[in-house]
Each structure stands twice: as structure tokens, then as C-alpha cells.
Structure 1
Amino acid sequence: MKTIIKTTWCCAIATATLIAGVAAAAYPDKPVRIVVPYPPGGASDTTARLLSEKLKQVTGGTFVVENRPGANGNIAAEMVAKSPADGYTLLMANVGPNAISQTIYPHLNYDVNKSFAPIGQTTTVPIVLVAGPKVKATDIKGLVAEVKTNPGKYTFASAGNGSSNHLVGEMFKSGLKLDMMHVPYKGDGPAMTDVMAGQVSMMFTTAVAARPYITGGKLKLIAVASKKRVPAFPGAPTISETVLPGFEASSWGGLVAPAGTSAEIVKHLNAAMVKVLAMPEVKEKLSMLGAEVAASKPEEFARYIKDETDKWGAVAKSANVVAE
């Protein structure tokens, strides 16, 4: 009898594995949504659209981008977290809704480390410090000296209270003991507009968002916040090498699915994503935008998200940042 039970159990496991394999082999047999938590035009949207186009070629399936902005990306993240775990609704994850929000939103309706099945990181997006006409300095050492000489007279903008560029600004302000006021906006666009107009002194933003304004002479590139210099702006020094050793802040992108999505589908998507990110034209396009390819395995991305959640959680608590 024990032999019969054991044989039946083994057959059941084999059948389940076979079914999962068949399902993954047939996937995707209907359109896959890649939900972007921001309006069109930013780093997340640009990366998602590039991915969707190439994933069609690699998998033979249909991938469509859907923009769901709002609440620092949390609206889109919650929607995906509560979607069926069948691989047909994915989130273009990033540092805001998938790391920072866990700490600053006391009643978040999802858990960044439990509500999603990480597929893989796609990009690292360098963050840069830019300034408008209100700042006389043209380099980071000059800017720091200018702000310290005029305490309380300088401001830094962000895409909103608790946004990633808000926390980077708080980390910069705290590390250098600068007396500056934070001015939150509803998105990077309005914030940069006021920096360019001189209504606000400066802001941290992604290289992708700032590049056209830097090259167009409307914003001054002061320094790079990431660990190393950015290929798109090779002459711009990092904050770490000039005024604040160890300072490091980057945005990032990646794909996640709802928790419970089968390991076979996650593996299938990761393999396709890695293949797309290895394409020379994709690397070139992302590099031109100021982003860098950072393909990773699902388990590596899961660890990275956990580390980012801990890092920015500590910054938010130290600055007493709570989202409105």
C-alpha cells in the first residue's frame, strides 16, 4: 500500500511539473501588460516601451505598456500586486513604489518584499544634481560653499514629498549639514520647470529626465550622485569624489509580477528580458538616454530590493519623512 501511495504521489508531482512546463511553453498566448507607475516620457516609461517592443521579437507574444501614475507610483504597484498571478500583468518597478514607499506610507496596501515576484533588474539610472539661474556656482564645491555662506536662502525641489529625489536631497543636506528648504511638486516636470525659471535653486533628478535640459543649456549640471561617473556626462564629477565621500544614490528599474506567479513563467520572462538587454541597439539606446543596463536574476533582484528598502528606510526615518 505504501508503495502505491508513494507512486501516486510521485506521479502527481510529475504531472503538476509537466502542466507548469506546458503552461510556460505556451506563454504568452494573450497580451501582457507592463504597467508603468508614472506618466509617459520618464525613465520607467522609456525603458518599458523599449522592452515591450523587443520582448515581442524574442517571445513572439504581445506586450503593451499601460501608464498608471499617482501617489508616487503606489497606485500602479497596488494594482499589479492585486492582479492575477498569471504573468499577464507586470510592473515596471523602481526605487519609489518598490523600496521607499514601504517606510514612508504608514498604510501601504502592499508589501514591497512580499507582494511581488521579482523577475529581474533592467537598468540603473544615474541621479544628477542640477541647478538653475538662482545658483551662481557651476561646480559642486562652489555650490556647497555658496549654500553654506547663505543659510536658509536656498531650496531644493522634488517630484513630491517622499519621492526618491526628495530623499536624495535630504541625504545630501544632512551629510553636508546644509540649511536648505525642500519644495515638493507633483512630478519631475513641474519641479524642473521651476528650477529652470529660478523659482527653486536646485534638484536631484535622473540623468534621463535632465539630459535634454542640460544639453540645451537650460539646467546646469553640478555633479553626479551615483557611485561612478556617468558615460553620458564624463566630465561631471561624483559627489562622493568631491565633497561627501561614500555618498551614493541611483534610481533603478526592473520587472516584477504579482506574488504567486509560477517559477516557470518568472524564469521564462527573465530569460527573455536578459536576451533583450544584451542587444547592442538596446544598450546603445539606454546609454544615450543616460541609463545603464543592469540585467539580473530573480533572486538577485529580490536581494537588491530588500537592500534598497533598508537603505532608504533609514534615510526617511532620519529625516522624519512621512508621505502626505
Structure 2
Amino acid sequence: MRHLSRGSKFLLGMFAAATLSASAFAQSWPNSTVTVVVPWPPGGPSDIAARPIAKRLTEDLKQPFVIDNRGGGGGNIGSAAVARSKPDGNTLLITSSAPIVINPSLYKKMPFDPSKDLIPITNLLRVPLVLVAHPSVPANNLNELIAYIKEQKGQFSYASAGSGTPQHMTGELFRSVTGLEMTHVPYKGSAPAISDLLGGHVPVMFDSMIAIMPHIKSGKVKVIAVSSEKRSELLPDVPTFAEAGLPAVVSYAWYGFFAPTGTPKPIIDKINAETLKIMKQPEFQKILADTGSDFVGDTPENFAKFVKDESVKWSKVVKESGATVD
């Protein structure tokens, strides 16, 4: 075996020192308050995942994990703030999929590049979307609804929680697959969209199961179909789009944990391990059950692949539907 040169020994020494330094840093992290940015207004679906995670991380790691709701720009403003922050593990992001895999294709100019500026840590929730209608709509299943929309000859609209949201893009996927003429009516969140649906101002909307379930249970809306691959245990009598004849309409609103690129790998792995531990606890298991989500905790590497695949999928939907930011 040949002896290593002095230069090679120096480089190996530097690498070993850097590895030990990163590992030691991860062991001492966190040593101050950690800010978890949620790029949406308080009370939204992202909070449903973020707040219990932050609470348990605070308890388990003995440092405050503070939620910072920074809404605006379809999730871009808060997400960009995290992307530009110091990669020391003290600023993290919990968000829906919109600013990560939809907005880059939908917005002409993005304030950050999700694929380069953020590191995926783990998926937290994956929630099916539901197509619901106002009781006045004369349709009780998907085939009847499609026939009714065709009869309107372009004078039909659907509501969503806002441009670029999974709700909007699922509507565009549905419109693209069926060839129906439908006008998108974006709202600033699920709550005002649901309010107008209940008031009969819009005929149908796509929304996450989290937000719309109370109104389904009260009978104030008709449920047409769910966008999951299989029927939801929360709505066992409601068919999937595939069962109703549209296998291409599969969609989820998912919520994930991210850190700025450059955050040391040992810290990413530590956050991942601590978060997965929390997700397996009864408190978070109940959240999964209540939202119709399967357990989706994963390794950073697998989650990164999932995010990449989702980016490709929604980029194609945006292109084929011609969707734009309203």
C-alpha cells in the first residue's frame, strides 16, 4: 500500500475535523429558541401539524420551538424567509405543498428556489381532497355533476382556498382531465370559500378533508368524490374519483418539514428522528386519524424523492391546464 501524501493526509484530517465538528454541533443543538415558520395565516391546516410538533419538540429538546405565522404570496413570503435564513437549525419551515411543488410552475417569478434552497426533513400529513357541492346543485354523484356542468356551457365556477393551493390545482387537474369549462374563483383561505359555498354563492369547491369535514357531518354540503387512491375511513361511503371513472384524478394536500440548505446533516437527522418519534405518539396519531391521513413520516432522502416527484406532477398539471395566478 502506498503512503498517503502530506496533502492527502491534511485533507483527510480537515474532513474528519469537519465531521466531528458537525456531529458535536448537532449534539448540542438546540441551544436557543428555534423559530418554526408557517407561511400561512394562523388557524390554517398547516398549523394542525405544526403546533403539536413544535409543542412536543419544546418538551423533548428542552428549548422553545416557536411558531411564526407569516402568510402572503401563496406561501412564498414565509418560505423565502426560511430559505434565506442562517442554516444553523434555528429557523425551520412547516408548510403545505403549494410553495414547494406548485408555485415554481405557477408564478412567473419566485423569491426562492425550493429545490435548491430548502432541505426536506419529513412529510407530516397527507390529506385527501374532497369535491363538495351546495345542496341546490342537482347532482348526487360525479357523472351527474359532469353532465350538469356541461349543460351550463361555460357558465360554471368552482371555489378554492386560493391560487396555487392544492385545492386550486386539484380543480385544474379535474378540469383538464374532463375537458369541462369551469371558472376558478380563488379565496384567501378555506374559511371564506366555505362560507360562500354554504351561502350558495359558488356551486362547488375542492377542499382538504381537514377543513370541510364539519360541514359534511352537518349535512350542509353534498359530497361527490374524494381524491385519494382508496376510500377514506372517514368517508367510507364516498367513492374515489377513480371509482367514479376518473383514475387520473389523484391528489393530496400534504404538509412537510424543511430546513435551509446548508443546515448540517446531523441536525437534519436529529430533527427527523425526534419528529418521527412524536408522530408515533397517541396525540399525533389522533391527528392523523382525524384528518384522514396515513402515517407518512419518512427519511429525509425518501421525502426529497417524494417532493421531486410531486414537482414533476404539478408542473405538468399547470402546463396542461394553462393555470395562472389570478
- Please classify the TM superposition score into its range, dividing by the shorter chain length: over 0.9
Q: Distance in 1 between matches of 2:169 and 2:287?
A: 28
- What is the CA distance between 1:41 and its match in structure 2? 2.1
Q: Residue 87 of structure 1 corresponds to which residue in structure 2?
A: 89
Q: Structure 2 residue aligned with 1:125, among 124, 127, 136?
A: 127
Q: Residue 159 of structure 1 corresponds to which residue in structure 2?
A: 161
- What is the CA distance between 1:3 and its match in structure 2? 4.8
Are the equivalent residues in 2 in contact too, given 1:151–1:180 (CA < 8 A)? no
1:18-70 per-residue CA deviation (whole Å, 9 max, x = no partner) reads 11111100111111111111122222111000111122233333211111111
Are the equivalent residues in 1 in contact too, given 2:168–2:184 (CA < 8 A)? yes
Q: Secondary structure at the residue paired with 1:33?
A: strand
Q: Residue 177 of structure 1 corresponds to which residue in structure 2?
A: 179
Q: Distance in 2 between matches of 1:2 and 1:109?
A: 46
**Structure 1 residue runs without a partner (length 5+):** none
Q: Residue 273 of structure 2 corresponds to which residue in structure 1?
A: 271
Q: Trace 1:1-324 onto structure 2 (pairs within 5 A).
A: 3-324=5-326
Q: Distance in 1 between matches of 2:95 and 2:187?
A: 21
Q: Distance in 2 between matches of 1:243 and 1:153?
A: 24
Q: Percent identity?
A: 38
Q: Distance in 1 between matches of 2:13 and 2:301?
A: 29
Q: Distance in 1 between matches of 2:17 and 2:315?
A: 44
- What is the CA distance between 1:243 and its match in structure 2? 2.6
Q: Distance in 2 between matches of 1:2 and 1:225?
A: 59
Distance 1:174 1:14, change over 3 A: closer
Are the equivalent residues in 1 in contact too, given 2:177–2:248 (CA < 8 A)? no
1:241-288 per-residue CA deviation (whole Å, 9 max, x = no partner) reads 113123201110110001111111001111111111111331122211
Q: Secondary structure at the residue paired with 1:317?
A: helix
When normalised by structure 1's length, the TM-score is: 0.94
1:85-135 per-residue CA deviation (whole Å, 9 max, x = no partner) reads 011111113220000011111110111211101111111111111111331
- Give the aligned residue type for 1:145: A
Are the equivalent residues in 1 in contact too, given 2:175–2:321 (CA < 8 A)? no
Are the equivalent residues in 2 in contact too, given 1:31–1:88 (CA < 8 A)? yes
Q: Secondary structure at the residue paired with 1:230?
A: coil
Q: Distance in 1 between matches of 2:138 and 2:69?
A: 38
Residues paired across the two proteins, number? 324
